[in-house]
Structure 1
Amino acid sequence: MNAIAWLIVICEAAFWAAVIFGLAARYIFRRQKLGMFFFALIPLLDAVLFLAAAADLYRGAAATMAHAVAAIYIGVSVAFGKSMIQWADERFRYYVVKEGAKPVKRYGLDYAKHYAKGWGRHVLAFVIGGVLLAGTVFLIQDASRTEALSKLLKGWSVVLCIDFLIMASFFVMPKKRRNSREL
């Protein structure tokens, strides 16, 4: 595994540590500002990862999937960051601290609309990550060294289209409750 791949592993572990420490600071220790500090570290981790990958490519390394994932992290962090923290926050508050309302399970048209918002976030993540990937390919100006970036962008385009079809299917065939206990 190359240095960028290890940095991804470290940043992913640091991401989850920041989320857990942020939630613990917020709800267990009742320190709102400290919790926000930990949450603010998340986009910084993504920026460090992307800058390290860009510097590695600038110094002459051939791009790998690890380099491409760095751009995806930034797009996903910007597009989904707030909603991911909100999701974790609701569950931590209810299941760990035993406060607040039980997280809502969505069904039918409500689920379809919620999924559509998520797909919109996916589009935003794709645009941000795609601009970073395409910009890196443009700056390096060596297709043989940036082939992995281009391949990932093409693959991500296919994933985005599949996600659209899944989203559309929830409007045609709405998600139903599995049993009456989930009311």
Structure 2
Amino acid sequence: MHLIVIGIIACEIGFWVVLGLGLATRYLLRMRRTSTVLLLCVPILDVALLTLIAWDLLANRAVADFSHGLGAVYLGFTIAFGHQIVTRVDAWFAHRFADGPEPWRPPKSGAAQVRYEWQQWARMLLCAIIASVVLGGITLIVGDPDRTAELLGWIARVWIVTGVWLLGWPVWLTVKHAGSPAAKADSRETTS
């Protein structure tokens, strides 16, 4: 198995282990300060993955492959969506183990669902920007187009996914909602 793939798997496992330990420490052991320190370690995993990718390409003089690009996109994803994931798991953990309120659930219909889908897409846009900056930055630092061609391909892939997400969810739901009877009723009420 490729070194970068092992790094991605280790970071994903590490994310869930650190998150689980942090929440267990907070809600089961009631050690809030220790829990906060553990949860602050989550971004260290992102730094470790970025360091591993850069080290492999610079020190090892590796030729970038699928795993290097995937690692950069994974990094963008964890930065863009990580806080939201931590917040949701925290709410679930508090509800399950500390008599917290029932966790918030994404809306399933109406204008609230449209707003939510646009917010999610904005996170994907942030992911694409971060991944593109990381991929482009590594390409520039390595300075060898023959060794980094795969990274440029990943920039195209991440933007294709971002475009498909835009059309398939927020734009589609916006158009669908605009044509719904509830949206037309809301429109009549606001113009009255």
Aligned length: 175
SS at 1:135 equivalent: helix
Residues 17-46 of structure 1, C-alpha deviations (whole Å, 9 max, x = no match) = 011111111111122222222221111101
- Normalising by structure 1, report the TM-score: 0.88
Tell me if 1:25 matches 2:25.
Answer: yes
Distance 2:143 2:106 in 1: 48
Residue 97 (structure 1) shift: 3.7
Residue 9 of structure 2: aligned partner? 9
Output aligned runs, 1:79-90, within 5 Å: 79-90=80-91
Moved over 3 A (4+): 95-98
Q: Tell me, yes or no, if the aligned pair for 1:62 and 1:145 is still in contact at 8 Å.
A: yes
Query: How far does the alpha carbon of each residue in 1:23-80 deviate from its partner, in whole angstroms, 9 at most, with x for none?
Result: 1111111222222222211111011111111011012101122212222233222222
What amino acid is aligned across from residue 25 of structure 2 in structure 1?
A
The answer to which of 69-78 and 6-15 deviates more is 69-78
Quick one: percent identity of the two aligned structures? 26
Which residue of 128, 139, 154 corresponds with 2:141?
Answer: 139
Alignment partner, residue 123 of structure 2: 121
1:73 alignment counterpart? 74
Residue 168 (structure 1) aligns with: 171
Q: RMSD over aligned Cα, in angstroms?
A: 1.8
Q: Following the alignment from structure 1 to structure 2, what is the Cα–Cα distance between the partners of residues 126 and 144?
A: 23
- Unpaired runs of at least 5, structure 2: 178-192
Cα drift, residue 130 of structure 1: 0.7
2:63 equivalent in structure 1: 62
Letter matched to residue 172 of structure 1: V
Inter-partner Cα distance in structure 2 for 1:171 and 1:110:
11
Q: In 2 relative to 1, CA 96–169 (structure 1 residues): closer, same or farther, beyond 3 Å?
A: farther
- Could you tell me which amino acid in structure 2 is paired with residue 130 of structure 1? S
One-letter amino acid of the counterpart of residue 52, structure 1: L
Report the TM-score, using the length of structure 2 for normalisation. Answer: 0.84
Q: What one-letter code is carried by the residue in structure 2 that aligns with 1:71?
A: A
In 2, are the aligned partners of 1:68 and 1:149 still within 8 Å (CA)?
yes
Residues 37, 73 of structure 1: alpha-carbon distance in 2 compared, 3 angstrom cutoff: farther
